[in-house]
Structure 1
Amino acid sequence: MKQVISVEKSLLWGHLFSMAFGLAGLLIVLPNPDLIAKLPEIGKTAFAWSLAGGGVVYMLLGMAAVAVYAYRTVGVWHWLGFMIPAVGLSLGSELLGTSTGFPFGHYRYLTGLGYKIAGLVPFTIPLSWFYLGFSAYIIARIGLNQFQVASWVKQATAIVIGSVLLTSWDFVLDPAMSQTAMPFWVWDQPGAFFGMPYQNFAGWFGTGVVYMTVATLIWNIKPLRLRKTDLNLPLVMYLSNFAFAAIMSTAVGIYPPILLGIITGVIPLISLYLKAAKTETIDSLPIQATVNEYPSEKMPIVSVGGKQ
């Protein structure tokens, strides 16, 4: 288990470093051609690599970090029970969006995010739906467990809040990434929200609700085992990606979406995270300590729902 945690932390640090490296390239090096000319050969090579595949690397590392975290904390069933619907349904939504304009509006992806499935959607995009969606959903779900209401009410609320948190990230990311010096997608249907149609956010929220609902139904088949205080990686994952988007928005002079994202995303997420640390029940059932299959770990595993 220590080796798994070590791998998980390494992937997270790699994700954070690659985002920082990408920001430096997009916001410092790219707008300054003279700086590029002055770089040593290794610097020019690194910059060229960053432009060609930096976006792919940081999303692959983000997906891998959350996948390992999910495997370690909730097990294979619940990890794949979330990841497969998240990737599959978001890909279907993106393919529909880029070919018909529904549900997001008319847009198309450019280069920099990897091989395009069907020539339309970079394969990395559904991965980001998974790792940000899982991070938002798991914090929402555990954070709501201290409320004394029916389990189905808490689960439905977690789906809604998880989808709102996911959409809040997009408030900040989408305008910036389509208006940076090297845009990653363009809107053929400009809208009132800093060049984007409001329909885009309805599409984001709706897609999140659909795949989180499917994942919740799959999770209900088997009891959920979770280390209730082990939510640090999802918190860091969400906040770091939000910060990436906020820095990009600041660089292109777009500020209101950052405030909107903080109000609807960052503040609720941190509040739920703090509530999760205090919760004494999960899904309205008392926490039951089980035998820890990893003796080196001192933190108890809790069982959630279903028969043991």
Structure 2
Amino acid sequence: MRQLVIVERVCLIGHIVSKAFGLVGMLLVIPNADIIFNLSQVGETAIQLSMAGGGVVDIILGTIAVSIYAYRTLGLGTWLAFMLPAMLISLGSELLGTSTGFPFGDYSYLSGLGYKIAGLVPFTIPLSWFYVGLSSYLIARTGLKVAQKPSWGRHIAAIAVGALLFTCWDFALEPAMSQTSLPFWYWEQPGAFFGTPYQNYAGWFGTSALFMSVAGLLWRNTSIKLERSQLNLPLVVYLTNFAFAAGLSLAAGFSIPVLLGLFLGVVPAVALWLRSSTTATQVAVEPVSQEVSVAKVEVALK
């Protein structure tokens, strides 16, 4: 298990570093292309490779880190009960969206996120739905104390809040990914909300709520009680991915979507993390009464 923890941390650090490196590259290097030509051959090659596959590596590292974390913390069955529905449902929605325009709107992916499934959706997209989706759902579920006080109301609230946190990430993500100097997808018909259709956010909320609902049903007989320290990785993953998107969007002048995501997503996520328990779950132990039986001793008096 120690080796798994080491790999998890290495992948998480690599994920964060990849985000930071990508942010610097997209904000400083690409707008100043002359810098590239002044680099050495090694530096120029490194920049070209990072621009060509940096996004893919970043997402794969995030997926591995969250997968190992889920395996260690939740168990194999519980991890797969979230990952498989999340990836299959999100891929189905993305394939439907890029083919018909429902449920997100009329959009197409460019070539910066790796091999496209059916020539439409990069294979990294359902991976990102999984690892940010699981992070969002665990933060919501633990902060709302679903395991400690289970009820249909709390389960539904956790799904709604988890889907909201996930959708708020997209408030910062959309302008960054579709309207900056290096877009990863584009809208055939730009929408009214800073170039993004309102329909897109409804699609994000509905898709994430659907796979979180499926996972919640599959988890119904599983008690998932996490401490605050066990939520550190999901929170770091959520904040890191939001910060990357927010940095690109702010640099492009899209402050309102970022602020909306900040107040409706980041602030509640941190509040839910703070609301989670700081100590391990108490296990009630019934007091054990010790009985000492003393054998009767008959003394014969002569």
TM-score (norm 1): 0.88
Whole-angstrom CA distance in 2 between matches of 1:90 and 1:136: 15
1:32 counterpart SS class:
helix
Give 1:277 shift: 3.0
- Which deviations, in whole Å up to 9, do the C-alpha atoms of 1:200-229 show, x marking residues without a partner? 000000001100000111111444464563
AA at the equivalent of 1:160: A
Contact 2:176–2:245, Cα closer than 8 Å, also in 1: yes
AA at the equivalent of 1:288: V
Indicate yes or no: 2:81 matched with 1:78: no
Identity across matched positions, percent? 59
Instruction: Report the CA distance shift for 1:289/1:124 in structure 2 as closer, same or farther (over 3 A).
Output: farther
- Which deviations, in whole Å up to 9, do the C-alpha atoms of 1:70-89 show, x marking residues without a partner? 00100001100000000000
Alignment of 1:113-152 (within 5 A): 113-145=113-145, 150-152=150-152
Indicate yes or no: 2:283 matched with 1:288: yes
1:61 alignment partner in structure 2 = 61
Give 1:55 shift: 0.6
Instruction: Report the CA distance shift for 1:228/1:19 in structure 2 as closer, same or farther (over 3 A).
Output: closer
1:97 alignment partner in structure 2 = 97
2:254 alignment partner in structure 1 = 254
Once superposed, what is the RMSD of the aligned Cα atoms?
Answer: 1.9
Indicate yes or no: 2:32 matched with 1:32: yes
Instruction: Report the CA distance shift for 1:42/1:149 in structure 2 as closer, same or farther (over 3 A).
Output: same
Q: Which runs of 5+ in 2 are unaligned?
A: 286-302
Q: Which runs of 5+ in 1 are unaligned?
A: 282-286, 291-308
Q: Which moved more, 1:221-230 or 1:119-128?
A: 221-230
Alignment of 1:1-308 (within 5 A): 1-145=1-145, 150-224=150-224, 226=226, 229-278=229-278, 287-288=282-283
Whole-angstrom CA distance in 2 between matches of 1:148 and 1:68: 25
Contact 2:4–2:68, Cα closer than 8 Å, also in 1: yes
AA at the equivalent of 2:283: Q
Instruction: Report the CA distance shift for 1:51/1:289 in structure 2 as closer, same or farther (over 3 A).
Output: farther
Whole-angstrom CA distance in 2 between matches of 1:63 and 1:272: 23
Whole-angstrom CA distance in 2 between matches of 1:212 and 1:147: 16
- Which deviations, in whole Å up to 9, do the C-alpha atoms of 1:154-183 show, x marking residues without a partner? 111110000000000000101121011111
Whole-angstrom CA distance in 1 between matches of 2:284 and 2:75: 16
TM-score (norm 2): 0.90
1:295 alignment partner in structure 2 = none
Q: Which moved more, 1:9-18 or 1:23-32?
A: 23-32
Give 1:6 shift: 1.1
AA at the equivalent of 1:137: Y
Whole-angstrom CA distance in 2 between matches of 1:288 and 1:124: 41
